[in-house]
Chain A
Amino acid sequence: MALSGQKNWLARAWHSAFAPIREPEGFYRHRALVRLTHWVNALCILILLGSGLNIFNAHPRLYWGLYGTDADQSFFSLGAIDTPAGPQGVTQVGPWQFDTTGVLGWSQVDGVFQARGWPSWLTIPSFQDLADARHWHFLFAWILVFNGLAYLAYSLWIRHIQRDIWPTRADIRAIPKSILDHIKLKHPTGDAARRYNVLQKLAYVGVITLITLMVLTGLTMSPGFNAIFPWLLDIFGGRQSARAIHFISACLIVLFVIVHLVEVILAGPINEIRSMLTGDYRIPRDDHLKDEA
């Protein structure tokens, strides 16, 4: 009994995830190339974050300006110091210092404590290895660039960005209402669910901008590309500023991913994930709106 009930539940979940749905209760939300580039991009971001933190560990300090080495003032650093009670991990942010022993600055790798900026479980590879972290980083950086260009070219061509993502004037006026809706965790139903809300649009514009910024600041750290595009150094104020912006943008992308995942869960994970797998999106009925009325 229980077993067959479970089977039915699985079958229903499978069906609801993959069965094609038709108008008017559903519509084709994401085109195939948008879906494919979304998931390739997600994989790239994950590998780039992990390998990026391993690269960061080779010199876990950030500076602002044209240059920066150990003798120069950092605005952010992860380090280890000796204290009478033993080594301590220290995270420096501007004038402040925090004891982050065990996670940042001083943490365990295979049970042995090491001076290490970011902990082993966050980095790719898990062991400290700048050469190979760079290999991973550049492999997936190139995939990200080609994937991103394919997405941008296609989305501009089919006017997906202009029509669905770029906020309209009406959207901008609706920002206060949208903020209230988000605070109340109210998700659009009926016709409104066919469109992205304004905060969602701004978040997508924001993350596309951040990824572009990641690529440009990444290129600004390359001495070869510096000779090709010296103006990038001027835009970002030097290689060390570019490195700092690269890191800050990565943090903001992590923030985007967290909010994005929370919203997927709040808005109905099966429907949202299915729409990004098969394209089919089931429109939430506006029953509760009628109840409210």
Chain B
Amino acid sequence: MAGAKIITRRLAILGGFAGAGWLIANTDKLTLDSDFARVFRAVEDWTKTTQRGLLYPDRLAREYSPSDISPFFKPNGTFNPGTPEYSAHAALNFANWRLKIDGLVEKPLSLSVDELRRLPRRTQITKHDCVEGWTAIGMWTGVPVGLLLKAAGLKPNARYAVFHCADNLTGEPAKGGEQSPGQYYESIDLRDAFHPQTILAYGFNGKALDVPHGAPLRLRVERQLGYKQAKYVERIQLVDSFSQIAGGQGGYWEDRGYEWYAGI
């Protein structure tokens, strides 16, 4: 019996090392394996569950003082959508830009930027954390997304707000991986949509939002990474699932392998 036990232990030790060695030797292969991706997905869910649990009920992201604002706030992704339609809007200072709110709402809305400016506003100086690792601090002024959703009236089955953007992005070398072109979009769930710091910003650092930073409207979801902060927003669509939109993962970067929950 004792002999059997020792052999079992030897096998366990050797098996453990063989497994670890195999894993280390095959990280490239496993990275591209769609079955293994389910492990990564489970980790993302676990991170989200943990953060959401600890964030209860609705903790605020830190807000900074004006002296903390970065001298240079790096624009990333699209610097200018550059389409004829967008350029025409930009030439008129976005006077004819409309934000549409539709999908699973009682009363679809179409609002001009001026109309949005007349609604209650929130100004916040927050940290913008890019998934690549850099940070910039800026001041954003805009209308709370929750206010707009209340005005439109959510249908009971609405679960996500999808933000459709005017820019077509071809990818970024820094982010590596698959880099196919696509229309930019993002999605958040209602808990983030109704968070007091979640705003559609039209003002940046005390001025009108400029083109490189997402004029005329940019989403701010302050407790998530930079790629969730969709620029050039022209439509908010309320859905019960985003699996039928574009790549089905809920966002431009999500369709290219990044986490939908970008809290880490």
- A residues apposed to B, CB below 8 Å: 18, 20, 39, 43, 46-47, 50, 55-59, 61, 66-72, 124-132, 134-136, 138-139, 142, 221-228, 230, 233, 238-240, 243, 277-278
Contact = CB atoms under 8 A, between A and B. Distances in A.
**3 nearest A-B pairs in the assembled complex, by CB-CB distance:** A224-B263, A131-B257, A128-B176
A224 B55 contact: yes
B59 interface: yes
Given A56-B133, A58-B175, 8 more contacts: A46-B24, A61-B134, A67-B134, A72-B70, A131-B176, A131-B259, A222-B264, A243-B133
Contacts of B16: 39
Interface string B13-29: 10011001001100110
Given A69-B135, A130-B175, A225-B264, A43 B10 contact: no
Contacts of A132: 31, 40, 177, 257
Contacts, number: 163
A139 B133 contact: no
Given A224-B263, A226-B127, A138 B137 contact: no
A195 to B, nearest CB: 26
Say what secondary structure dominates the interface of chain B. mixed
Chain A interface mostly: helix
A223 B131 contact: no
Contacts of B47: 138, 142
A64 B127 CA distance: 15
Interface in B1-57: 6, 9-10, 13, 16-17, 20, 23-24, 27-28, 31, 37, 39-40, 43-44, 46-47, 51, 54-55
Contacts of B130: 59, 69
12 contacts: A18-B10, A20-B6, A69-B72, A70-B74, A124-B27, A125-B28, A127-B176, A130-B175, A132-B257, A223-B129, A224-B264, A226-B62
